[in-house]
């Protein structure tokens, strides 16, 4: 049996550790490159001795995360439907799984640009930050908003490339965007003194350029003529309805996740600029951890999608065991790294002593996060690959309810520690509740 590449996983009775890692490692690198974008923004402005600047970027990032995460289903569902179409050997459906979400991305991207002012006003009202932080966040927002259609198109491009198994091309696209952003941020902020405007312009330019680069990649791929598909095929009622149902459930899942994040940020903002800045740094660490797990989750999702499309139960079952093994091993390694090098990591984000000290006070919660969160993140990748989003939606709703109860009980007595306790409980609940839907997923696809 020859070794599988990232481009073509053979239909074999078992998937080896090596085959899994060949698929997963580029996705892991690709995954952690995404939060590095926000981490670099935070670290660059952290060099400027004003915690309001860090808070401004944090608030701005929350607003864009809210907007874009609501449309995160564009990447997730595109990857799942594409992997299933490839597993079934249906070339037309592979192309349609790219065109349909691309249309949705353009529509919503333009809509965000049109309603930018009321979106910002509502967000700042709900978060309730100080006047200085709100001013910086507004400057950041009004520049970056013009990249909305492009970042949503990049979700579709990356999701399709991942679903097709072109993980190296997906990795190249994301690394190109993030390296460009890093270089421009350093030049515009630290060397040209543009402040928060420089951070925003760097991100905007990198988003637009990455989509142009991604479009060149897709159109140069051999064997996929995107212009041979007629309008009737695109609007096929059955396929379109299935896609919309999956996207609806993933949208609702994201609403719940962002509700939790929004409440978390708002409560942190009410405790002062230093606490807000400390929480922003810890959340950036959490994003790095979550996206790293997301690489393994995406690999498992591709395997599951192809297994379902090709009716291969062995690969389907093996995907769960590989996800559990590598997820748990990664959780141990990450917790040890955060515990041993936490002070160094925090120093990378800011030189402000007060913010560093407050961040260290709550670092232990980040040591716990990999253990309680990895299985839920892995399972979301698996369920997404199976395009079974209803279970993801229901589990996150239950986890949100648990978060609100924990917050109500712990916040009055323990303040920011109570806030982080509720966050950890939410992450644990997410893992436990989604595990309960595994038998149903298996029965539905392999009765």
What is the tens place of the pLDDT at every residue in 220-241? 776 566 556 656 666 666 666 7
Burial of 14 (0-12, 13-18, 19+ CB in 10 A): exposed
Residue 292 · residue 31 · CB < 8 Å: yes
Residue 268: its pLDDT value, please? 83
Domain with 320 in it: 17-445
The residue among 379, 251, 294, 208 whose CA lies nearest residue 34 is 294
7 is a domain residue: no
Taking the model in full, what pTM does it have? Answer: 0.76
What is 157-219 written as a DSSP string? HHHHHHHTT-HHHHHHHHHHHHHHHHHHHIIIIIIT--HHHHHHHHHHHHHHHHHHHHHHHHH
- Any domain includes 2: no
Q: What is the DSSP string of 288-307?
A: HHHHHHHHHHHHHHHHHHHH
The helix (H) or strand (E) run that includes residue 415 is helix 389-435
Evaluate whether residue 430 is within a structural domain.
yes
Residue 266: per-residue pLDDT? 83
What does the pLDDT read at residue 5?
A: 41
What's the confidence (pLDDT) of residue 8?
A: 44
CB neighbours of 269 closer than 8 A, spacing ≥ 6? 55, 59, 127, 128, 129, 130, 133, 276
3 within some domain = no
Distances (CA, A) of 22 to 4, 9, 76, 81, 330: 8, 10, 20, 22, 16
Low-confidence ranges of the chain (pLDDT < 70): 1-14, 30-43, 45-51, 128-130, 222-240
* d(C-alpha 117, C-alpha 112), whole Å: 9
Q: 54, 350 in Cβ contact below 8 A? A: yes
CA atoms of 24 and 27, how far apart (whole Å) = 5
Cα–Cα distances in Å, from 195 out to 64, 113, 346? 19, 23, 21
Number of domains in the chain: 1
Convert the pLDDT of each residue in 13-43 to its tens digit.
567 788 888 878 887 776 666 656 666 666 6
Predicted pLDDT at 189? 79
Q: Which of 183, 206, 343, 346 is closest to 277 using CA atoms?
A: 346
Contact 279, 27 (CB under 8 A): no
For residue 12, the model assigns a pLDDT of 47
Q: How many CB atoms lie within 10 A of CB 101?
A: 27
């Amino acid at each position: 049996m020859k070794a599988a590449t990232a481009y073509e996983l053979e239909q074999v009775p078992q998937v080896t550790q090596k085959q899994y890692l060949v698929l997963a490692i580029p996705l892991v690198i690709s995954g952690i490159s995404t939060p590095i974008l926000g981490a670099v923004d935070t670290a660059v402005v952290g060099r400027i001795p004003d915690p309001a600047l860090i808070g401004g970027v944090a608030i701005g990032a929350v607003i864009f995360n809210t907007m874009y995460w609501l449309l995160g289903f564009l990447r997730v569902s595109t990857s799942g439907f594409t992997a299933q179409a490839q597993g079934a050997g249906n070339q037309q459906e592979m192309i349609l799984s790219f065109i349909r979400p691309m249309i949705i991305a353009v529509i919503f991207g333009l809509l965000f640009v049109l309603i930018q002012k009321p979106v910002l006003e509502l967000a700042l009202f709900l978060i309730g930050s100080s006047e200085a932080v709100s001013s910086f966040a507004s400057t950041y927002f009004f520049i970056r908003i013009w990249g909305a259609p492009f970042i949503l198109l990049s979700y579709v491009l990356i999701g399709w490339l991942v679903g097709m198994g072109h993980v190296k091309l997906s990795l190249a696209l994301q690394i190109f965007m993030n390296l460009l952003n890093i270089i421009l941020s350093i030049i515009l902020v630290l060397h040209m003194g543009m402040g928060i405007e420089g951070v925003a312009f760097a991100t905007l330019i990198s988003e637009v350029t990455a989509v142009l680069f991604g479009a060149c990649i897709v159109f140069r791929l051999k064997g996929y003529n995107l212009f041979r598909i007629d309008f009737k095929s695109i609007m096929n009622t059955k396929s379109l309805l299935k896609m919309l149902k999956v996207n609806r459930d993933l949208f609702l899942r994201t609403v719940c996740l962002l509700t939790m994040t929004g409440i978390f940020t708002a409560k942190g903002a009410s405790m002062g600029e230093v606490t807000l800045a400390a929480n922003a740094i810890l959340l950036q660490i959490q994003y790095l951890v979550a996206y790293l797990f997301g690489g393994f989750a995406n690999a498992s999702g591709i395997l599951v999608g192809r297994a379902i499309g090709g009716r291969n139960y062995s690969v389907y079952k093996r995907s769960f065991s590989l996800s559990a093994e590598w997820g748990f091993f990664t959780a141990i390694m990450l917790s040890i790294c955060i515990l041993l090098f936490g002070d160094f990591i925090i120093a990378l984000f800011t030189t402000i002593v007060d913010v560093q000290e407050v961040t260290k006070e709550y670092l232990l919660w980040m040591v716990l996060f990999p253990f309680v969160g990895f299985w839920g993140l892995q399972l979301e990748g698996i369920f997404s690959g199976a395009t079974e989003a209803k279970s993801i939606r229901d589990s996150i709703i239950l986890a949100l309810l648990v978060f609100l109860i924990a917050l109500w009980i712990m916040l009055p007595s323990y303040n920011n520690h109570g806030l982080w306790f509720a966050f950890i409980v939410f992450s644990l609940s997410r893992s436990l509740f989604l595990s309960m839907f595994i038998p149903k997923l298996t029965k539905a696809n392999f009765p």
